[in-house]
Structure 1
Amino acid sequence: MFTQAAIALSSKRLASTSAIVAPQPPATAEDKNTELVEERRVQKIEFAVKKHLQYLSKDPFKIQEHVLRILEKGNFEEALLLVRKASRDTKITVSWNHLIDYEMKNQRLHAAIKLYNEMKKRVQLPDAKTFTIIFRGCAKSKHPKLAVSEALRIYNSMIVNERISPNIYHLNGVLEVCNNAGDLDSMFTVLETMNNGTRKPDSWTYTIVLNALRNSPHKLNHLDLDPAAAQRQVELVLGRAKMIWEDVMSRWNNGQILIDEALVCAMGRILAMGDYADKKSILGLLESTLRIPRFDITEGSAVAGDTQPQLPAKDTGNHALTVPKPGNNALSLVMLSLELTKKTSVAPKYWQHFTSVFGVKPDKANYISYIQVLMKGRASAKVAEAVCSVQDAFLAPFIYRMAFSTCIHDGLNKHAFEHACKIFDFMIAKAPYPDPLSMRLFLQVARTNVRHLYEMDEKSPRAGKLAVGSQIVAALECMWKPFRVLMNTLHHTGRDQPKRGLWGLEDNEKLEVVAIARRMIAAMDVVTGEKMSEDEKVMETLRSRRSLLNKLVERYVETLPLDESSKGNKKMTLRQDGRTDAPFPRIA
């Protein structure tokens, strides 16, 4: 920020050096007007700062509160000028901290470090909060390598500076910076500065290190390592993590550290990278630390209907009252372990125990992990129950897709189609517009879950065929109204809805809508062609609706021109001539 004195001084310097500087073109009227506007803006800011300082009365608390209000409005220049002027005769370290934090949050790392250096030059001594802000900002920087170098430089200067010795929060902050950059060498160098005093490691220290170890193999995969080398890297990570965990358990048993859910889950997710034995040991880890019962072991011996087995009688260590409470992170880890070890049958018991006994309110990640486990176990009934319990804020098309895929793979279950109907009704009730791919999967359930229908009466194959036809007709009937709503809503009705028109959609969305129409046509052809219904009214309705769907598909295909570069094979491509408002037949 240039003051009037600075502007005048700059003019004198330019005048004194005019003899040696190359002649400049004369300033235009526009340039002079811009300089005048800038000068007036500077004068306005200076006047406001002068008035504010009169009322703040050199009170550090009032100054820092005012600086914070100015920064909330985005007036950084005014806040900086006020802090610089107030620093002449008042100690306002907190105000400087606000400026540094503002620059860090706006991803201006260089500017923040310059403010830190200027702060020291103006004899405004940084406090512990200053360094916490710097390390936190470096950890969130989009320039991780630069952030590591700056954080290490400042941290090392704190080590040799007797005025402010770094504490565990500063050490953890630097570890976060190294973790964000994937710099394990620097991380372990920082870990060597731990002590039994102010830098005594806590649960968050170990959590950061374990998370960094877990992420390191994924970052090395970008180097195109061969599978053997990648496996060796994973084994190295597991070995390091297990050594660190032994230290954690030793400190916990001796009462030197309090563990939390984040630390336990960080170790558990590293074990998920190992072999089957490591994956299996996750549940044992959760049992020994978070006191989560082992339903996979007690499943055979538990009393029927008992979903709350007793906890282990023994208690390792002196931490009976320091056991952390399991939460969403632990629930997701349990589901991951069950999925990896294929112990999917006990997933509902763990889910019920977490939600009822521990009082965990599942989040979106919990629902997804739970449905994935049930999908792997082909438990269509439990999937239908889980989907219908998902909160509205967490519902998404891929959840319905996973659910319908589970019903497809649960083909030996004669109730799979009933479960799919339950999911479909829930989707239609919750979704403003049905998901086309989910509707296709629902129709596929109706066409594939038919084994029990054909085996219903071996002496009368005709009865089985009629039962299959009835099931397909029921699915088509469920789909007809939602599909009609989908098509009529996506139809381009005017300029007020330019993005709702079918031709305004993305290519894959267009193809999905047409694909479901084709699947419905194919299903209708199966029923009518093989005479899988004896109700003539039903057959006539299917033929009428097939005609409408066929016109819809034909109209879409007509908008696809032949590719000029491959006329021989008649390759079809989407039109690129801007026809986005072509008329489309509405479904009555």
Structure 2
Amino acid sequence: MRLEAKFLVDPMKLAQAVVEKLRDSDFDAAMSLVRASEKARDGMAVDNIVSWNHIIDWLMSQGEPSMAWKIYNEMKKRGHKPDAHTYTIMLRGYRDNVKKPNVVKQAVAVYDSISAANSAVTPTTIHTNAVLSVCARANDIESLWSIAGRLPDKGPGAPDHITFTTILQAINAEVRARAVELGGRNGPDFDAQPIFEQAVSDARKLWVDITARWRKGDLQLDEALVCAMGRLLMLSTEPKAYEDVLNLVQQTMNIPRTPDGLGKTGEDLAKEEENSVTSPSANTSSPPETANSSLVRQGLRQTQLGPTSTSIYAIPGQNTLSMLIETATALRYLRVGKYYWDLLTAPEGLYKIVPDHGNVMAYLRLLRVSRASQATLDVLRMPRPKDIQDRLMVRGTFFIAMSTCLRDKNNPNVFETASRILDLMQGRAEAVDQEQSPTSGGQQLKLSPKVLTKYLELALATTNGLNGSRLNKRKDGDLDFERDPRKNNTLRALRRLAPDMVNVKRLLKDHLDESEQQAAMKARTPTVQKILAKRQLTHLSVSENIRELVDFLRMLIGAYDKILMVNEHLEDDGLGPLDKDILTECWSQKRKLSAFLGKVINARGIPKEARQIPEQGTVHRQTSTEPLEDNLGDEAGKSLDVTLPNQRTKALREINRSRLKQEKAREESRLSRRQKRELEKEERIRKQFPASMLKPPQSGRSRTNSQKFETTDHKRTTSPSQKYSGWGGEFAALAREQGQGENTSFIDLRP
């Protein structure tokens, strides 16, 4: 290595040789070469600071910040002073390895060494932003404030827009992490909202300093800084905070809240929104591009400044679009939200933002609140890039779309719109089946059971006599119940959902068999068995939500029952019954489904803790993040929908997961060491394999007399391999069916 170093006296060639060895993951050779270069030029050291930087950078990329710290100190001991690039590499590496131990301490030490008296480097804003990013990712808010408090107000090293963005994002992340920690520790009585409100208050104080610097020309705003402040305001549950998000965008991006209401207050906008929602034209479901085209043109005329590089205003992007749509949806400013969407995404507009997956989902939630079913269908049909379209055409999207149709049930064309949405979902499911190979997961329906339930509920809501309304007599003397199966929405829906009903029954039967087999696998100790029964382990047989499958069948039974009740009403009034085929089908399906559902609910052999199917009338907790349709109010600005997905709701879900984790830890703390090992083993096995593939452990004491006699009677006539129900137990039957039973021999490998 020393001989090679003699010919590498050129610092550039030495650095190239080090990079080649590091590319081959030969760290020892690269390190030996750099050390040998210390005396390569007649006993004098070569200027190899670039080579040291390459080694430190490679160690950071390999997730070894501690080793990089040692090399950094060795470099200084050998008399090489770190340059500006060395500090940047160190701080950037600590940012990427923030979960490793002592990262924040070492990063702060590196940053402090820049300002040392013997340092050859002047600290810059780049170094400051790098170390602040380390503290922010580690949620070390104290170290972050200690560094930010030493920054000058003006001149070199003063904070820029990246600095303030990092600080605001750090406040957001730290308060959510602290809420999750306290929520898991203090139990269900913990309220995280005071912590969120304090973070919002701190951010408001910091924003006063930001706007003061911006007005003086000392700070340039960008979208990341504006959205960091806006997302912090959305942690609050006060409508005034969400109003300030709209004011914030108007202040920093020169986007008016309404094209004709720059001076209007929130109360005036709320009155306009109420008038637009309660007016008869609100349920026409007109596309937003036609309804708000005049608003967009006015907005373009009043927005004088476009997105140019010399503008003093920040340029909006996809993050801004999502934030505005979410804010307008939470405040029920539906007209304002559609205006923002059309203004920012208009192809002929100033901004020409191409919506991503998050933008489209936020806009679909806005359309759901505004009962715009046709506009929802138009949004789903819009051409998009394949990556965005693949992420968009999922079950959650179609559930929002079908919920929109259900809220728009007064629209006479809504059932046809819902049928087209169901066609899109079915076509997407078939395309996925052709593109992707079958996975090793459990069985799953092509269409979401929640979407199917909403579709049938919509059919009932749009059928006279089945939606709770009173039947009236028509001119011909008959009641206004549609007897034609081709025009009756409920009968059309039942006919279309018949194949899905068969698949749902098959999945429930498979799940029941799997649960019975898993319940039969007893653990060695009763305590472990009780814990295993309580925990819902992943079933590889059926991966659908069992509650949703049962709810779908109950909705079917209710639909058949309502049709039969209408038939009784018609017969009581002497108007003649429905078609005989319809009545026969309704009675038959109602009896079959009721009997099947009764067997599923009252299944024997399954512990109470392991049951996932609620009894009739049982109210279970809402697990979805989507709000219920009944909770979507129409009063604009007076209340706030706090159930919409944002950073606050994500933090609340993390708190619930932390509580479940703490509860799980408390359960395991009462177990002995042997029971813990048994529990861990059983959980690992049951998560990896379905119960049908596992042989239930049976000891000699637990076997009944009938089993013993059965084994004795068949001892001479039945081979052990045919009695074995574990691995390979079905291959013997398969071989006999194919006529290979006599030519194939099975070897019993049991001890």
TM over 0.5: yes
Return the offset for 1:95.
3.0
Query: In the alignment, what sits opposite 2:691?
Result: 578
Query: In the alignment, what sits opposite 1:462?
Result: 479
Q: Does 1:478 align with 2:471?
A: no
- Partner of 2:481, secondary structure, is helix
Q: Which moved more, 1:158-167 or 1:246-255?
A: 246-255
Structure 1: distance between partners of 2:508 and 2:26: 46
Read off the aligned partner of 2:447 and give its amino acid letter: P
Query: In the alignment, what sits opposite 1:101?
Result: 57
Contact 1:70 1:76 in 2 (8 A): yes
Aligned partner (choices 207, 232, 243) of residue 205 of structure 2: 243
Tell me: CA distance 1:522–1:251, structure 2 relative to 1, closer, same or farther (3 Å).
Answer: same
Aligned partner (choices 578, 582, 605) of residue 561 of structure 1: 605
Structure 2: distance between partners of 1:335 and 1:119: 53
Query: In the alignment, what sits opposite 2:240?
Result: 277
- Partner of 1:464, secondary structure, is coil
Contact 1:107 1:142 in 2 (8 A): no
Contact 2:322 2:358 in 1 (8 A): yes
Structure 1: distance between partners of 2:6 and 2:22: 18
Structure 1: distance between partners of 2:151 and 2:379: 47
Q: Which moved more, 1:502-511 or 1:84-93?
A: 502-511
Q: Does 1:431 align with 2:424?
A: no
Return the offset for 1:490.
12
Structure 2: distance between partners of 1:136 and 1:163: 20
Contact 1:194 1:201 in 2 (8 A): yes
Contact 2:182 2:190 in 1 (8 A): no
Return the offset for 1:200.
1.8
| 1:246-257 alignment, distance < 5 Å | 246-257=208-219
Q: Does 1:305 align with 2:305?
A: no
Contact 1:456 1:464 in 2 (8 A): no
Question: Which deviations, in whole Å up to 9, do the C-alpha atoms of 1:295-331 show, x marking residues without a partner?
Answer: 386486999834232465899xxx9723332101100
Question: Which deviations, in whole Å up to 9, do the C-alpha atoms of 1:238-268 show, x marking residues without a partner?
Answer: 3432332232223222322211000111111
Aligned partner (choices 327, 346, 350) of residue 336 of structure 2: 346
Query: In the alignment, what sits opposite 1:61?
Result: 12
Return the offset for 1:87.
4.8
Question: Which deviations, in whole Å up to 9, do the C-alpha atoms of 1:416-469 show, x marking residues without a partner?
Answer: 433322321111111233223322222222223446977697225832364899
Tell me: CA distance 1:144–1:490, structure 2 relative to 1, closer, same or farther (3 Å).
Answer: same
Return the offset for 1:392.
2.6
Aligned partner (choices 453, 478, 483) of residue 440 of structure 1: 453
Question: Which deviations, in whole Å up to 9, do the C-alpha atoms of 1:267-307 show, x marking residues without a partner?
Answer: 11222234322211211211221122323864869998342
- Partner of 2:220, secondary structure, is coil
Contact 1:206 1:263 in 2 (8 A): yes
Q: Does 1:267 align with 2:218?
A: no
Structure 1: distance between partners of 2:610 and 2:101: 49
Q: Does 1:85 align with 2:48?
A: no
Q: Does 1:404 align with 2:434?
A: no
Structure 1: which 5+ residue stretches go unaligned? 1-48, 493-501, 584-588
Structure 2: distance between partners of 1:102 and 1:116: 12
Contact 1:217 1:230 in 2 (8 A): no
Tell me: CA distance 1:565–1:117, structure 2 relative to 1, closer, same or farther (3 Å).
Answer: closer
Return the offset for 1:112.
1.9
Structure 2: distance between partners of 1:427 and 1:483: 17
Q: Does 1:200 align with 2:158?
A: yes
* C-alpha RMSD of matched pairs (Å): 4.4
Q: Does 1:391 align with 2:350?
A: no
Tell me: CA distance 1:368–1:549, structure 2 relative to 1, closer, same or farther (3 Å).
Answer: same
Query: In the alignment, what sits opposite 1:127?
Result: 83
Read off the aligned partner of 2:137 and give its amino acid letter: N
Return the offset for 1:149.
1.2
Tell me: CA distance 1:66–1:419, structure 2 relative to 1, closer, same or farther (3 Å).
Answer: farther
Question: Which deviations, in whole Å up to 9, do the C-alpha atoms of 1:221-242 show, x marking residues without a partner?
Answer: 2335899996654454334323
Structure 2: which 5+ residue stretches go unaligned? 41-45, 262-268, 277-290, 383-387, 431-445, 511-537, 571-576, 616-685, 695-724, 731-751
Contact 1:405 1:441 in 2 (8 A): yes
Return the TM-score normalized by structure 1. Answer: 0.74
Q: Which moved more, 1:66-75 or 1:149-158?
A: 66-75
Structure 2: distance between partners of 1:457 and 1:548: 29
Structure 2: distance between partners of 1:335 and 1:421: 27
Contact 1:388 1:423 in 2 (8 A): no
Return the offset for 1:554.
8.6
- Partner of 1:133, secondary structure, is helix
| 1:535-554 alignment, distance < 5 Å | 535-537=579-581
- Partner of 2:497, secondary structure, is helix
- Partner of 1:421, secondary structure, is helix
- Partner of 2:245, secondary structure, is helix
Aligned partner (choices 127, 131, 143) of residue 99 of structure 2: 143
Contact 1:167 1:198 in 2 (8 A): yes
Read off the aligned partner of 1:174 and give its amino acid letter: V
Return the offset for 1:170.
0.7
Contact 1:145 1:181 in 2 (8 A): no
Query: In the alignment, what sits opposite 2:130?
Result: 173
Contact 1:252 1:259 in 2 (8 A): yes
Contact 2:168 2:228 in 1 (8 A): yes
Tell me: CA distance 1:423–1:160, structure 2 relative to 1, closer, same or farther (3 Å).
Answer: same
Read off the aligned partner of 2:429 and give its amino acid letter: A
Structure 2: distance between partners of 1:542 and 1:303: 46
Return the offset for 1:79.
3.6
Query: In the alignment, what sits opposite 1:355?
Result: 345
Aligned partner (choices 245, 253, 270) of residue 290 of structure 1: 253
- Partner of 1:197, secondary structure, is coil
Return the offset for 1:135.
1.5
Return the offset for 1:173.
1.0
Q: Which moved more, 1:480-489 or 1:54-63?
A: 480-489
Structure 2: distance between partners of 1:151 and 1:354: 41
Query: In the alignment, what sits opposite 1:333?
Result: 323
Query: In the alignment, what sits opposite 1:372?
Result: 365
Contact 2:98 2:104 in 1 (8 A): no
Contact 1:144 1:181 in 2 (8 A): no
Contact 1:437 1:512 in 2 (8 A): yes
Question: Which deviations, in whole Å up to 9, do the C-alpha atoms of 1:383-425 show, x marking residues without a partner?
Answer: 3333344723333211222222333344444444333223211
Kindly, what percent of the aligned residue pairs are identical?
Answer: 26
Read off the aligned partner of 2:450 and give its amino acid letter: L
Return the offset for 1:151.
1.2
Question: Which deviations, in whole Å up to 9, do the C-alpha atoms of 1:41-72 show, x marking residues without a partner?
Answer: xxxxxxxx689x47974443344344444444
Tell me: CA distance 1:83–1:270, structure 2 relative to 1, closer, same or farther (3 Å).
Answer: same
Structure 1: distance between partners of 2:566 and 2:90: 74
Return the offset for 1:507.
5.5
Structure 1: distance between partners of 2:191 and 2:470: 55
Q: Which moved more, 1:241-250 or 1:304-313?
A: 304-313
Question: Which deviations, in whole Å up to 9, do the C-alpha atoms of 1:309-364 show, x marking residues without a partner?
Answer: 2465899xxx9723332101100110121123221233222212211121111112
Structure with greater contact order relative to length (CA < 8 Å, sep ≥ 6): 2
Structure 2: distance between partners of 1:78 and 1:509: 56
Return the TM-score normalized by structure 2. Answer: 0.59
Contact 2:557 2:593 in 1 (8 A): yes
Structure 2: distance between partners of 1:50 and 1:505: 64
Contact 2:22 2:30 in 1 (8 A): yes
Contact 1:428 1:482 in 2 (8 A): no
Contact 2:293 2:342 in 1 (8 A): no
Question: Which deviations, in whole Å up to 9, do the C-alpha atoms of 1:484-538 show, x marking residues without a partner?
Answer: 688999999xxxxxxxxx9733455466456545544553454456549945555
Question: Which deviations, in whole Å up to 9, do the C-alpha atoms of 1:7-29 show, x marking residues without a partner?
Answer: xxxxxxxxxxxxxxxxxxxxxxx
Query: In the alignment, what sits opposite 1:496?
Result: none
Comparing both structures, which one devotes a greater share of its residues to helix?
A: 1
Read off the aligned partner of 1:402 and give its amino acid letter: I
Tell me: CA distance 1:539–1:228, structure 2 relative to 1, closer, same or farther (3 Å).
Answer: closer
Contact 2:234 2:241 in 1 (8 A): yes
Tell me: CA distance 1:482–1:303, structure 2 relative to 1, closer, same or farther (3 Å).
Answer: closer
- Partner of 2:102, secondary structure, is helix
Return the offset for 1:152.
1.2
Contact 1:93 1:126 in 2 (8 A): yes
